[in-house]
Structure 1
Amino acid sequence: MPDHSENAEHSERTEHTEHSEHSDRTGQVSQAENAVWSELARVRDPEIRRPITELGMVQDVTVDAAGHARVAIRLTIAGCPAARRIEADTLEATRSAAGVQSAEVAVGVMTPDERRAFTERVRGDRGARQQQFGPDSLTRVIAVTSGKGGVGKSSITTGLAVAWAAQGLTVGIVDADIFGFSIPGLMGLSREGRTEQPTRVDDMMLPPVAHGVKVISIGMFLGEADPRTTAVSWRGPMLHRTIEQFLRDVWFGDLDVLLLDLPPGTGDIAISVGQLLPQAEVLVVTTPQEAAADVAVRSALVARQTGQRVLGVVENMAGLPQPDGTVLELFGAGGGALVADRLSDDEHGPVPLLGSVPLSPTFRAGGDTGVPTVLTEPNDAAAAEVLRIARAILADGRGLAGRPLGLSPR
C-alpha cells in the first residue's frame, strides 16, 4: 500500500522549497530595485544640479526576475534641452546597479500638477517669484564694471566664472550688458547665429549651463533673430525690469558666487543693480591707458553711492610679451594702479590692484571659440594671471559675521 504520510511529507517539502525560491527571487528583485534607486540618486539634472530622485522626476522603477530593469522618468517639458543627457545618465546608472542584467528607460512629460510640484521642490521655502539674492543671501555677488567699453570686462568675467567652477564652486553669470551682450558667445552658448535658451517650467526659467556655469543673457530671448545682427534699443524702465526679472524668474539655485557683467559707464543698469543688490561687491576693469582709468573711477564711485564695496581693480591688456622677454605696452602703463590709488581713501580703506592681465592671442582666441583659455591653456600668460586673480578674490572672502545662515537648532 502507498505510504500517504511520505507523500504528504514530500508535498510539504516541495511547497516549502517553491515558496523559499519564490521568496528568494522576490527578495533579489527588491534588492535590485533598491540598488537602482540608489544609483539614480547619483543622476543630477544638469540645469538644476540636484538628483532626479529628489526632484520627483523618477516615476517608477521595476526589475524582473531575469534582472531586466525598467525606469520611467518624466521631464518638465517636451523638448527639454537636457533630455538626452538625463536619459543617457539614467540608463548608465541603471545598468550599473547590482542585480541588473539589462535596462531600458522610458521618457515621459510631467503633467501640470507634477510641474507645479517640481517647481515647489526646486524653490523650497523661498516661494515663487522672489528676488533670490537679497541682502540675507549667502551667495557672494560680484558686479564687474568698467568706465569704457572694449576693455575686456566680459572676458575677465567669464574667465573668473569658469576658473571658480573648475574649483568646484557653483557659479552663475547675469549678462547685464543689455545693449552689448557678449557672454553667450564667450561661453560657447551662441553658435552660428543661434543662442541656447533657458528652459521654461511654468513661471520659472532654468538657465543654460556652460563649462559648469549657469548663464542668463538678453541674447537668449531674441527668438529666431541672429544675435550677431540684432540690436536691443530699450529705455530705462525696461532695463530695470529686465534685470529684476533675471534675478527673480531665472532660477539659479544655491550659488557660491554670482557675477554680473555690467555695461560700461554709470547709466540706468548700474543704478538698478545698486538698488536691487546693495550688498554686491564691485570689481573694476580698466586698461593701462590713463583716459580709461579716469572713467573707470567714475563707475566705482556710482557703485559706492548705493552702498556697494569696491573689491579691487583688474588691469586688462597690460602689455604684449615679446619673444626676447620685453613687453610692448600698446595701451600705456599704470592705469590699473592709478584707479586703485584714486579709489583708496580713509573712509573706504585701500582698494587693491588685484592683477594685470597681459595681451594674449591665445586668450582672445578662447573667447572667439567659446572655450575659455583658463580651461584649455592654463599656462598661457593671460590665463595664468586670471587664475591667480580668481584665487586672490576668494582669499578676500566676504565675511558672514552677523548674517543669518538659515539654520535652526534640532
Structure 2
Amino acid sequence: MLKPLKSRLFSTFACLRHENPLGLPRAGAPPQIPRMQRGLPQKRNIKDVKKVIAVSSAKGGVGKSTIAVNLALSFARLGQRTGILDTDVFGPSIPTLLNLSGEPRLSDNNQLIPLSNYGLKSMSMGYLIPEESPVAWRGLMVMKALQQLLHEVDWGGLDILVLDMPPGTGDVQLTITQQIKLDGAVIISTPQDLSLKDAVKGVALFRKVDVPLLGLVSNMSSFICPSCNTPHPIFGPPEKIREMCKKQNLRLLGQIPLHPQVCEDADRGKPTVVADPEGEQAKIFGEIALSVGKLIDLKS
C-alpha cells in the first residue's frame, strides 16, 4: 500500500528545523565536542542495484545531464533495467529532461518510489520541491538530503543505476565517491580548454578515491554543416580531447557532435534516444552504452 509523501520532503528535514545546524552552543548548555572517527567511511552498495556508474564533468554547461539521460535510456533500450539518480541538489535537471513532475509516493517501509518515463526509473530533488523554489540550504541539510536520495529510494531491482553528478569536486562528490561502491565513472567534456582543465580535476578526484575511470565522452565535439556535411570545430580542435585522453590515460568513449536537435529534444522532455531512436546521435549514445557495459561487465 503506497502512502502519500504529504507536505514534508524528508522525515529528517522537519527535525533539522529545530536543530542547530551551525553547531553553536545553546544558552546555558555546555558546548558539544564531536567524536572523531578514524579513516574513511565504509563504502556501501545501493540496495537492489547491481551496477552503479557516475557521469561527471566537474564543470557546468557542457551537457553532462543530457548525456547522462541519453546514456541511461540507451541502457534501457539494450534491455537493462535502468535508473537515473539526479544528485545535483541545487540544480536538478532530470525532471525537465524526462518530462516528469509531481511528488513521489512512499512505500510501506518509508522508501521513496521513483518516477518513470520512457522505461527509465528516476529520482531527483526536483520532484520534491516546487520548480520555482531555490534550494537555499547549508551543508548539513544538503548532506541529509543526499543520504536519503542514495539510500532511501526503492528502486525495485536495477541492472544499472546512472548517477548524474553535480558540477565541482566538493562535499557532494566526496560523499558519493567515498560512501558508494561505484563500478566506474564517465567524464564529460567539450574540447574547450576551460572544460578540459576542470575535467582533469574530476579525473584526479576519482583516482584519489579509487573509482575506476571508464573513459571520456567529448560533447559538442564539432558542428556538422547540414549543407556540405563538413565538421566545424566550434569549441576547439578535436585533437585537444585526444591529447588530454592520452596524457591522462583515458579511453575516448565517443564524440558527440553539436546538433540543435539534441538541445530541442532535451528542452521538450523527450531525449534524443527516444525522439529519434534510429538517428545518428542515438547510435552514438548506443555505442557508448555498449562500451561502458562491457567495461563494467554488465550482463545482457
| TM-score, structure 2 normalization | 0.80
User: Residue 118 of structure 2 aligns with which residue?
Assistant: 211
Higher relative contact order (CA 8 A, sep 6+): 2
Query: What secondary structure, in the 3-state scheme, does the structure 2 residue paired with 1:204 have?
Result: coil
Rounded Cα–Cα distance in structure 1 between residues aligned with 2:261 and 2:218: 18
Does residue 338 of structure 1 match 2:237?
no
Query: What secondary structure, in the 3-state scheme, does the structure 1 residue paired with 2:123 have?
Result: strand
1:167-316 maps to which residues of 2 (within 5 A)?
Answer: 167-189=78-100, 195-202=101-108, 203-222=110-129, 225=130, 227=131, 229-316=132-219
Deviation of the 1:136 alpha carbon: 9.5
Q: Give the letter for the 2:2 counterpart.
A: T
Structure 1, 333-342 or 299-308: larger mean CA deviation: 333-342
Deviation of the 1:251 alpha carbon: 0.6
Match for residue 364 of structure 1 among 263, 272, 276: 263
Rounded Cα–Cα distance in structure 1 between residues aligned with 2:183 and 2:137: 25
Deviation of the 1:376 alpha carbon: 2.4
Structure 1's 273 and 255: CA in aligned 2 closer, same or farther, altered over 3 A? same
Query: What secondary structure, in the 3-state scheme, does the structure 2 residue paired with 1:292 have?
Result: helix
Deviation of the 1:138 alpha carbon: 6.1
Does residue 156 of structure 1 match 2:82?
no
Q: Give the letter for the 2:273 counterpart.
A: V
Rounded Cα–Cα distance in structure 2 between residues aligned with 1:316 and 1:264: 16
Rounded Cα–Cα distance in structure 2 between residues aligned with 1:154 and 1:232: 19
Deviation of the 1:379 alpha carbon: 3.7
Structure 1's 176 and 301: CA in aligned 2 closer, same or farther, altered over 3 A? same
User: Residue 17 of structure 2 aligns with which residue?
Assistant: none
Deviation of the 1:261 alpha carbon: 0.6
Q: Tell me if the contact between 1:141 and 1:280 (Cα under 8 Å) persists in the aligned partners.
A: yes
Q: Identity, % of aligned pairs? A: 33
Structure 1, 316-325 or 275-284: larger mean CA deviation: 275-284
Rounded Cα–Cα distance in structure 1 between residues aligned with 2:81 and 2:271: 17
Rounded Cα–Cα distance in structure 2 between residues aligned with 1:77 and 1:209: 18
Q: Deviations over 1:250-281 (max 9, x none)?
A: 11122111111111111111101012114341
Rounded Cα–Cα distance in structure 2 between residues aligned with 1:217 and 1:333: 35
Give unpaired runs (5+ residues) of structure 2. Answer: 6-41
Q: Tell me if the contact between 2:81 and 2:159 (Cα under 8 Å) persists in the aligned partners.
A: yes
Q: Tell me if the contact between 1:139 and 1:257 (Cα under 8 Å) persists in the aligned partners.
A: yes
User: Residue 327 of structure 1 aligns with which residue?
Assistant: 231
Rounded Cα–Cα distance in structure 1 between residues aligned with 2:193 and 2:168: 16
Q: Give the letter for the 1:341 counterpart.
A: K
Structure 1's 135 and 374: CA in aligned 2 closer, same or farther, altered over 3 A? closer
Q: Give the letter for the 2:118 counterpart.
A: H
Structure 1's 286 and 139: CA in aligned 2 closer, same or farther, altered over 3 A? same
| TM-score, structure 1 normalization | 0.59
Structure 1's 263 and 135: CA in aligned 2 closer, same or farther, altered over 3 A? closer
Q: Give the letter for the 1:196 counterpart.
A: G
Moved over 4 A (4+): 135-138
Q: Give the letter for the 2:88 counterpart.
A: D
Rounded Cα–Cα distance in structure 1 between residues aligned with 2:43 and 2:50: 9
Rounded Cα–Cα distance in structure 2 between residues aligned with 1:274 and 1:213: 24
Q: Give the letter for the 1:76 counterpart.
A: L
Rounded Cα–Cα distance in structure 1 between residues aligned with 2:244 and 2:138: 30
Structure label with greater radius of gyration: 1
Rounded Cα–Cα distance in structure 2 between residues aligned with 1:159 and 1:372: 6
Rounded Cα–Cα distance in structure 1 between residues aligned with 2:181 and 2:59: 23
Rounded Cα–Cα distance in structure 2 between residues aligned with 1:174 and 1:136: 13
Rounded Cα–Cα distance in structure 2 between residues aligned with 1:251 and 1:212: 16
Q: Deviations over 1:358-409 (max 9, x none)?
A: 0112111111111111122134332221121111111223389xxxxxxxxx
- Count of residue correspondences: 261
Identify, as 1 or 2, the structure richer in helix: 1
Query: What secondary structure, in the 3-state scheme, does the structure 1 residue paired with 2:133 have?
Result: coil
Q: Deviations over 1:328-382 (max 9, x none)?
A: 21111234323322321xxxxxx20000000112111111111111122134332
Q: Give the letter for the 1:365 counterpart.
A: E
Does residue 76 of structure 1 match 2:2?
yes
Rounded Cα–Cα distance in structure 1 between residues aligned with 2:275 and 2:201: 35
Rounded Cα–Cα distance in structure 2 between residues aligned with 1:196 and 1:331: 37
Q: Tell me if the contact between 1:172 and 1:258 (Cα under 8 Å) persists in the aligned partners.
A: yes
